[in-house]
Amino acid sequence: MPVSSDRPSDAKARGPLWSEPGSLLEHVAVAVCGLDDDNRICYWGPGAQDLFGYRAAEALSRPGGLLFRGSAAGGADDVCARMADRGRTEGYWRGRQRVRHRDGTDFDCGFRVFAVTGEAGRTVVMALSSRSDELDRVKTNLAFLDALFATCPIGLVMLDEELRYRHLNQALADMNGLPIEEHLGRHLTDIMITSDDGEYERMLRSVATEGRTVTGVRVGMRTRGHPDRDTVLSVSFFPLTRAVGSRPGVGGLLVDVTDQEQAVVEATASRQRLALLDRASARIGTTLDVEVTAQELVDAAVPDFCDGAVVELVDWTNESEAFDPALPVDTRRIASGTVLPAPATELVSGLKEVHYPPGSAIHQMLRSGRPLCVPVNDDFLARTVLDASRARLMADSGLAVLLLAPLVARGTVQGLAIFGRSVHRADFTEQDLSLAGELASRSALCLDNARLYSRERNIALTLQRALLPSFLAPSPYLHLAHRYLPGSRVTEVGGDWYDVIALPDHRVALVVGDVMGHGVSAAASMGRLRITAKALARHDQEPAELLAELDQCAQEAGIELATCLYIRYDPRTGHTRLASAGHPPPLVRHPGGRIEVIDEVLGVPLGIGGSTFRTADFGLPDDAVLALYTDGLIEARGRDIDEGLHRLQEELGRMPGSLEVAADRILSHLVASSPADDTVLLLARVHRRQ
């Protein structure tokens, strides 16, 4: 039975094989018709009416010769029969025939003919046809596009909606310094390196999402394939359609105009160097640790500035002596890093102490006091790298050129920084030498500050360890647990101290004090007060009298502010006497778990003068726990003293039987991981003398 897919006539209506608008095939009608065993028309698609002019009712069941123009070889029916027979016998045939329109005009058509099996085993020959001139136009356009992508010297690219590479030509791949295959599927920012804070990417996203078109925009950038080559491109981008199932996205043309835009290139390079210097300034010197500061310099330089870097400190016999080029230079390597594979990793990190002989490139750099660029060649290896195994590592590392920069601060060479680039990157330029000098200068000052800090800190720590008690006086009537936790700021050394002093008649004195401030001065003041308090206590002075003497000592020594708590305990009676010079009050945990705050006398700090200290008396039952501490335990950022004191009471209320465990638990719960102030905690479980 003849089959029609006819529908109401519409000049804009197309058949089922009509392409979507916007493609190269937009105006190419595809007609579909079928011929039965007698070569009569048994199927007539909508596109066939558009191509031949016959409605379905006019074409169905009529001979197929209706559609053809006869030739010298035979009439129209003969032409149709020969084409249908080839479709039946060959399975598929392709060719051109002269056809006739309903209005009497004729034109060439391209045919695709193949046989299909219909109902009851009947064979139907299906014919797909389109105007030859329209097909030729499409072929010409496609051939032009293929030739354009293959031979055009302008960079051509297709990006998807997420700005990933879908298609590009060899010219653009050459511009970027990477093969076409390494582009496909990668995001634009994986290939392009810009210093415009993302403006280039935002421009392309507006093309993809808003349908904008940009033309002739100049952009300065680098690429992953040429990370050291500044390039200026003139770029034009336009939105892509969704024609014939294609994905939406962005099409673009990119022209290298670097030669015409040298000023832009230089500005781009300057921005890159300034950006690197700005990042380095923010990253270097965040701590007062020499090794951390050196590693920050390495991390700032690799990989943006170089492929590998090391920082070494010079071991001067005497820093005040002038550099003697006739003597070897010994250094300690304290930081390193590289993005190159082995053996470069072993080269930069496998050596801690380095020896440079006279005549080395390091000596040449130190003589001039300025950055120096040297190639890694046989002469360099022979003069500078004495160890044969190290020379082989350097030769095999891939490094082609080194930039040596002295680290000079306050007129003294602290050390040196070495930056290396591989054969795949451009050599260092004069501008790079200037940048390395600026990096080295800033880093040297940070390193010198860290070195001076370390020196002062070591002095303060040594002094503090010497002044704090190495052990506490033993007593059968006191079980003790004591902790000293230094603060993390400045020199990590402060003026907190504590002591336990044996007195006549089995009595015991406990002292806790805190000199305001940090560093050597605070540690020295703390030592003076501790030694004085210990001497006065052994003369068995009353607590208030002892603090009065300490106050006088503080005034004479110029100690402006210090707190102190002095307690004297008698194990025969449990009688306890206390005096305080502005110190946080002690706590007593009674055997039943009750917590008592002894705050009857607070007093004023030492060093102020003009005040009278008072003594408070109270009793300590057997097995009571006395807690003495400094303000670092209960005071912290974001927490006031009252809250801290309340938390300490809670911890004492649920303290375990072991004083050592209790001390660790209290510190872990009350003191931050990086405390701003020193902390002393002294726990004493008292026992009566039987």
Statement to judge: residues 356 and 421 lie in one domain? yes
Q: Indicate which CATH number applies to the domain containing 245.
A: 3.30.450.20
Q: What is the pLDDT of residue 1?
A: 55
Statement to judge: residues 518 and 634 lie in one domain? yes
Statement to judge: residues 397 and 473 lie in one domain? no
Statement to judge: residues 496 and 375 lie in one domain? no
Statement to judge: residues 673 and 587 lie in one domain? yes
Cα 388–chain centre separation:
38
- For residue 519, is it within any domain? yes
Statement to judge: residues 404 and 499 lie in one domain? no
Q: What is the pLDDT of residue 387?
A: 85
- For residue 252, is it within any domain? yes
Statement to judge: residues 495 and 591 lie in one domain? yes
Statement to judge: residues 548 and 680 lie in one domain? yes
Statement to judge: residues 478 and 615 lie in one domain? yes
Final residue before a domain boundary, out of 135, 169, 204: 135
Q: How far apart are CA 42 and CA 125, in angstroms?
A: 9
Final residue before a domain boundary, out of 237, 268, 299: 268
**pTM attached to this predicted model:** 0.46
Statement to judge: residues 256 and 350 lie in one domain? no
Q: What is the pLDDT of residue 409?
A: 83
- For residue 538, is it within any domain? yes
Phi, psi (degrees; rounded to nearest 5) at 66: -55, -30
Q: Which residues pair with 389 in a beta bridge?
A: none
Domain range enclosing 381: 284-451
- For residue 143, is it within any domain? no
∠ CA 86-92-96, nearest 5°, is 70
Q: Which two tokens stand for residue 603?
A: 């007093």
CA atoms within 13 A on the CB side of 44: 26
- For residue 115, is it within any domain? yes
- For residue 624, is it within any domain? yes
pLDDT mean values, one per 10 residues, the chain (690 residues): 51 38 56 92 89 92 92 85 91 90 92 83 88 84 74 87 92 92 92 86 90 88 86 90 64 86 65 78 81 90 92 78 84 93 88 89 91 94 88 91 91 89 89 89 84 72 66 82 74 77 92 85 84 89 93 90 95 95 95 92 88 92 95 82 91 90 92 78 90
Statement to judge: residues 219 and 169 lie in one domain? yes
Is the CB of residue 603 less than 8 Å from the CB of residue 538?
A: no
Q: Indicate which CATH number applies to the domain containing 364.
A: 3.30.450.40
Q: How far apart are CA 540 and CA 277, in angstroms?
A: 65
For the beta carbon of residue 396, count every other beta carbon within 10 angstroms: 13
Final residue before a domain boundary, out of 103, 135, 167: 135
Task: List all residues 6 or more positions away from 554 whose beta carbon is below 8 Å from its beta carbon.
Answer: 525, 529, 562, 606, 607
Q: What is the pLDDT of residue 681?
A: 94
- For residue 573, is it within any domain? yes
Statement to judge: residues 595 and 475 lie in one domain? yes
- For residue 459, is it within any domain? no
Q: What is the pLDDT of residue 54?
A: 93
Strand 231-240 with 562-569, pairing: unpaired
Structural domain total, the chain = 4
CA distance from start to end of the chain = 125
